[in-house]
Amino acid sequence: MNKKTKLKTHLGLSSRHRKRLINNETNSELKHTQMFTTIEKKSPASEEVRRQTIYQVTQPSTSFQSSCSIIYDSDHDINIDRETSLTMDVDLNLPTTNYDSECLSDESSPNSSDIENLPDSRADSPLSAASINSVQDHSTNSIKEDLIQWTLEYNIPQNALTALLKVVNKNFKCNLPNDARTLLQTPRNSIISKLDNGQYIHFGLENALKGIVKDIGNLQCIELLINVDGLPLSRSSTACLWPILCSDNVTKKVSIVGLFHGYEKPKDSNQFLKQFVKEAVMYVTNGFFNEGRKYDVKIAGLICDAPAKSFVLNTKGHTGYNSCTKCKVEGNYINNRVCFPAPSNVPLRNDNDYFCDTDDDFYVSKSELLKIPGFLPVSGVPLDYMHLICLGVVKKLLLLWIESKASSGVKLSSQSIKEISENILLCCKYVPSDVARKPRPLSEIRHWTATELRNFLLYIGPVVLKSKVNNDVYLNFLTLHVAVRILCNSTAIANKENIKYAERLLEHFVQSFAIIYGKDKISHNVHNLLHICEDVRNFGSLDEFSSFKFENYMSTIKKYIRKNDKPLQQLCNRYHEMERLYKSSNKSTQKSVTHKINDCVINIHKFKDRCVLLENGDIFQIILIEGNRIAGYPLRSNGNLYTAPCASQKLNIHQLSDLNSTYVSHPLSSVRAKIWTLPYKRNEYVGMPILHSLF
């Protein structure tokens, strides 16, 4: 016999114990009856109050199941009928209360008239049913918007969001939809058309213009930059996307206009561009109307890399002999490659040449873009600084130093490569918060992004290469470095003489490049350095017409594709979900920072984020920011980092040493730029202004 003590039901108890329980239940019921009889005698309450009192007292406690557990043998099935179960609940959970008749005297009990005169809490309380519903609706809407923003910001899959919604609705009274598609208002259908060797979906230029006009203030004219490029979806497949993107020159916001999906690029660029061109012609001709106001629209430029440019404009590819889009130079075939070792005084192309098809060796066929009024196929198609200089020339230089033959005279030794890589890695902890990527060693050069190559050219390279490469190679690199820093500085190019100086530097770079590395190394990209200054005169600093912002948006597009099947439908759904969020929410997702000056993070607790350039040319380390003043110590300048092709201090690049002992303060308005401080020698740094922080 099992001797363990168990909590049993009536059916499992002895007859004596069962009788005792029944007697207790009978006595309890008699007490309840006597109590309510006493209440009725003492207070002639209304029938409604009496019924409510009886219901509250006799209602079993809900804490029984949570506080007690039933242990039973697995050999026996314990069947508890409804009557027995209810009896146990009442018996075990009724509170022990002594209803003394003295507590219910005539003086303490309200009479019927008193009860009738009590105020109706449902009508007069501030938490009436209507107000409670209003608060609940507001709370639910707030939760909805937060969930939508969270889902889109972190790219939460819809099946995960659906599961979360079911859990929330089950445990909380939020009245949320049970399906992610309902919450996000995902469209049921996508209008996708067949296009040659793939599929195409058109989002429209109208939606992009609506987003732009919200932020351009009182400007009357919207100038658009158009970008076309290919985007591979995976390494294991040839599937790719070809988006048509646009951006304006004020807000810099990128929007998607159209999207092609296939397993190779579109066969016919004119068919690919047809819907975009039709819409662009309408808005350029008639203007764009929004809320009763008319805006002029202009297609200011086309931003593409060399292969996409030849595809869209229907011209010879970048490997052709007559492939330069800016001049009529003819390439030479040297050492199994087409190169352009020609002088700089070659006749230039102009827009009329394109319209008239005067060069059959360059023009293949008419482009659909020529139908857009005011579009200029030569002067309106600038060279892209990201692909041309960063991914083109800078990467070519690094590969020549690392992978060329030893007989070339420019190949670095293994020891030099190791030392340069170590110096690059030392810079990692000094990378400011405003800079997107930390540098990687030269062993990973094949995987460097355009941003890393830009940082190497403008900031890191002059420091880590000094005394590690021969003087000719270093001076050639510095020539490109100085020219590009000038062309990236919107303040510097306001002086036309600075553009001319940069132009002469680039001419010298190309000429010395041919001497150092060989004429056969002057590729399409190296040659086009001779023409990029003209685009700066037409469009502004290099960053104004680069592909960096479009490339960043391409990574966003790729992020929203969760599987390779039906990518257009996925992107269409994400696009409409994002559009709805921006229409309904004005919340900012910007992270809080210590301070911001000229859109740059200033953190007085981190050395990498607290050095600035002042109006007087001093480099200053901020220790305190209070109100409209800054306080701290100037850094001592030890002179120039380099003196050729010009003194580095003319570009506000200094060798720095210890802090000046003088503690001074300056107006906050005296800050001109944030400084990137790089380790140089023992207890020495090099300070360079971050170009996008200059004003």
Instruction: Report the distance separating Cα 61 and Cα 96, nearest Å.
Output: 13
Give me the mean pLDDT over the 638-660 stretch: 91
Claim to verify: residue 97 and residue 164 sit in the same structural domain: no
- Separation between Cα atoms, residue 165 and residue 162, nearest integer Å: 5
| pLDDT tens digits, one per residue of 152-189 | 777 788 788 888 888 888 888 778 887 777 776 666 66
Which among 56, 48, 51 is positioned nearest to 118, based on CA atoms? 48
Residue 538 and residue 400 in one domain: yes
pLDDT at 34: 53
Task: Indicate whether 171 and 55 sit together in one domain.
Answer: no
Beta-carbon contacts of 432 under 8 Å, excluding residues fewer than 6 positions away, are 600, 601, 608, 609, 674, 676, 690
Residues 406, 465, single domain; the answer is yes
Average pLDDT over residues 686-691: 95
Interval 405-460: pLDDT, tens: 887 889 999 999 999 999 999 999 999 998 888 999 999 999 999 999 999 999 99
pLDDT in tens, 537-581: 999 999 999 999 999 999 888 888 878 788 888 888 777 777 665
Q: At 47, which amino acid appears?
A: E
CB atoms within 10 A of CB 294: 11
Q: Write the pLDDT tens digit of every residue in 16-54.
A: 666 666 666 566 555 555 544 444 444 444 444 444 444
Q: Are residues 540 and 649 in the same domain?
A: no
The strand pair at 254-262 and 240-248 is best described as antiparallel
Alpha-carbon gap, residue 471 to 514, rounded angstroms: 16
569 part of a folded domain:
no
Residue 233: name the closest of 551, 567, 553 by CA: 567
Closest CA to 315 of 326, 325, 328: 325
Percent of the chain scoring above 70 in pLDDT: 75
Return the higher-pLDDT residue of 59 and 609. Answer: 609
In a domain, 523, yes or no: yes
One domain for residues 109 and 144: no
Q: Is residue 227 part of a domain?
A: no
295-321 pLDDT, tens digit per residue, is 999 999 999 999 999 999 999 998 899
- 116, pLDDT greater than 50: no
Specify the pLDDT at position 627. 86
What's the pLDDT band for 72 if we cut at 50, 70, 90? very low
Residues 352-405 have pLDDT tens digits of 888 887 777 888 889 999 999 999 999 999 999 999 999 999 999 999 999 988
Choose one of 545, 565, 584: the last residue of a domain. Answer: 545
Let me know if 520 is exposed, middle or buried by CB neighbors in 10 A (0-12, 13-18, 19+): middle
Residues 469, 408, single domain; the answer is yes
Q: Can you give the pLDDT at residue 221?
A: 93
Asked if residue 640 and residue 540 are part of one domain, the reply reads: no
**Per-residue model confidence (pLDDT) at position 589:** 41
User: How confident is the model at residue 207, as a pLDDT?
Assistant: 86
Examine residue 451 and state whether it is found in any structural domain, yes or no.
yes
- Give residue 389's pLDDT: 98
Mean pLDDT of 87-94: 36
Q: What is the pLDDT of residue 90?
A: 34
Q: Which residue segment(s) compose the domain that 40 sits in?
A: 10-115
Asked if residue 506 has pLDDT above 60, the reply is yes
Q: Is residue 430 domain-shared with residue 525, that is, in the same domain?
A: yes
Angle at 8 between CA 7 and CA 11, to 5 degrees: 170
Per residue in 180-231, pLDDT (tens digit) is: 777 766 666 667 888 888 999 999 899 899 889 888 878 899 999 999 999 9
Same domain, yes or no: 468 and 534: yes
